[in-house]
Structure 1
Amino acid sequence: MAVALKELYAAISPQYHVKLHTESCFDKMIAWTHVVEDIEFISSLHGEELVFFSGLNCTSEDWLKRYITELDRHHVGGLIMSFRGEETFSKEIVGFCNEIRFPIFSASWTTPYMDIMRLFAEILLKNEQRETNLIAAFKNAIYYPENEGSYLSHFERNGFLRDMEYIVVILSCHTYDEETGNEQLNKIEKSLRFILENVIAYEENRRLIILAAGYSLHKIQEEFQRLCGKDTNVYAGIGTVAGRSRDIHRSHENAYTAYRLTKTGIPRNLLSYDELGIYKILADVKEEEIYPEFVSETVGELMKYDREKHTDYMNILEVYFENDCSAVHTAQTLYCHKNTLAYKLDKIKRILGYDILKNENRVKIMVAIYILRLGTGYF
């Protein structure tokens, strides 16, 4: 797991004479370190590396600019470069790096790169072990909530306290799936770690499972709306607030319900469980086999008629109820004359064999429509 570059820089002892020249570390994250002495080797990097460079192959300022440009193009997190005597980066290079938000550091000619790289490796490996333990604890909190001993100690050692507020978020973006993984999921996870300090995330079944600790529901909704709400290829479900660690599994269940409905019942790619309305009840029913029977009893004859006669009466009925059973508004929505609509509504009543405006029947029809919107997985 990556570590913030500013944390690594802060860990360097002053005796090593490493100096930051750009305005900041630009919130870069570092996953590993590499020595890269020539431009042609940069293409082998994976991104988020901190590169060490002796400077021996630097023949001119133009060459150095091309070198830095390639590092940035391959998503490298920063550069530490050695200089002899009083030499250092030119103002032009520093300005260029500030412009592209690429952090650069100078080191003295005698700076022991191996010592610094070993220090960074220890920090990175320790952080990776911490993340691994937290992910395992998170999974235990989801699947074995009654066994607090399997997750609480790991949580509390890392600032995730027993009585903090926890929210689980589940998201996916299968449009971007590739054999090598999902770059968009990785990008979202990296961005998330900049935005939220107390967060645990792991990928499972091509979905990102996220635990945010110590944040309000409004804050989580706001940040995820900003992060992925505008990308219609990203689907995200936000769970309820769990007031203690042993209730994380409930937030996870609710997040999954909301996530599932983004793909079926509610045409939005970002949903909070609190927004689901009647779907909370429908999605929480454990005996899902009752759904087909209920739908069949309520609107089955109309669906059968549509299939056999190639009509769209079920759609008309749904639009009619969406418009609060207003003939005027329904006719406007369907772009048809109100007399034509009246004829079709009368036909629907005759096919169904009951008064669709009777209160009990209206409720049953709406519930049947909501069930159908949940998707064919129930049938």
Structure 2
Amino acid sequence: MSELTVTGPTRIDVGGDAPYQVLVGRDLLGELPALLTGAEQAALLYAEPLKPRAEALAGLLDAAGVRALPIEVPDAEDGKTIGVAAGCWDALGANGFTRTDVVIGLGGGAVTDLAGFVAAAWLRGVRWVPVSTSLLGMVDAAVGGKTGVNTAAGKNLVGAFHPPAGVLCDLAMLDTLPHADLVAGLAEVVKCGFIADPAILDLIEADPAAAQDPASPALRELVERAIRVKAHVVTHDLRESGLREFLNYGHTLAHAIEKVEHYRWRHGHAVSVGLIYAAALSVAAGHLAPEIAARHRRVLASLGLPVGYEADAWPALLAAMRVDKKARGSRLRFVVLDDLGSPTILAGPADELLEAAYREVIA
């Protein structure tokens, strides 16, 4: 692996009513105590695979004079339930957790979503800090304050907007991340390239292998660019009343795939297929040039991400999309592209158009 030549964290500002910074770099845990000023306790949510890191972080907190309250939760999407959140609230109550205390989410996107939701609801909102250990968490779930849990009806249908006090994206955490998980996180990076920053696509096309190397300057630049895209969007639209909807490019079908697969698929893999579908729908609706849709397939395939799905799954997927958060009544809404960096909303497309676009996914 090549070594990073950049030293020190990059600080990316997220504005709005509750501004904070996203720190990107290597070996950043020493920055955490500065985000905990005034706290006597810090609840530390983590899943079992990260227990050694959680114990090390608890030691750092104790050394900084903050009592660590470790709370182990089920791994991945199994942890994103009301029942798990309720167990966390019981632990906070039993330990006298107050408004000045802090919740820390150590893990990937699922733990981040859960930790933020637990913090948003406890005492109607306490501070929280995501310490991301996955690429997906760094470029997506940790930034923007969108928190939530899953229900039987679908993914992330119960939640709250609750910006963190700060975000730590320690790239050293990616050194031991399974390669499949790292690549899955790149789907969200690719999405940012198509909706806002085409330089991301150029970087990946120039060297797909470097994009998958956690120690490469290329991956660091990709992470920073993707975070800047999201930071700009959520600064201007925290509650998804307009601009933030564009971050859902590819996600309507992606969330449907996750539901049909009972959340056994990685989120990034579902997003990859969802991007193929959204591009095909953009073309079918007369918004996008076919060569840009073809570029979706080339970029995603170069990273080893899936670009197709099952032919007979369409009825189940369509049913799942009808309860998507972006739907308005019976009208489905999709983010589509007019061009690179130019997303827009397609509302109420005909079922025939939706099915025609899906045929491109199974082709």
**TM-score, normalized by the shorter chain, greater than 0.5:** no
Q: Which has the higher contact order (CA 8 A, sep 6+)?
A: 2
Normalised-by-shorter TM-score class: under 0.3
What TM-score results when the alignment is normalised by the length of structure 1?
A: 0.25
Please tell me whether Structure 1 or Structure 2 has the larger radius of gyration of its CA atoms.
Answer: 1
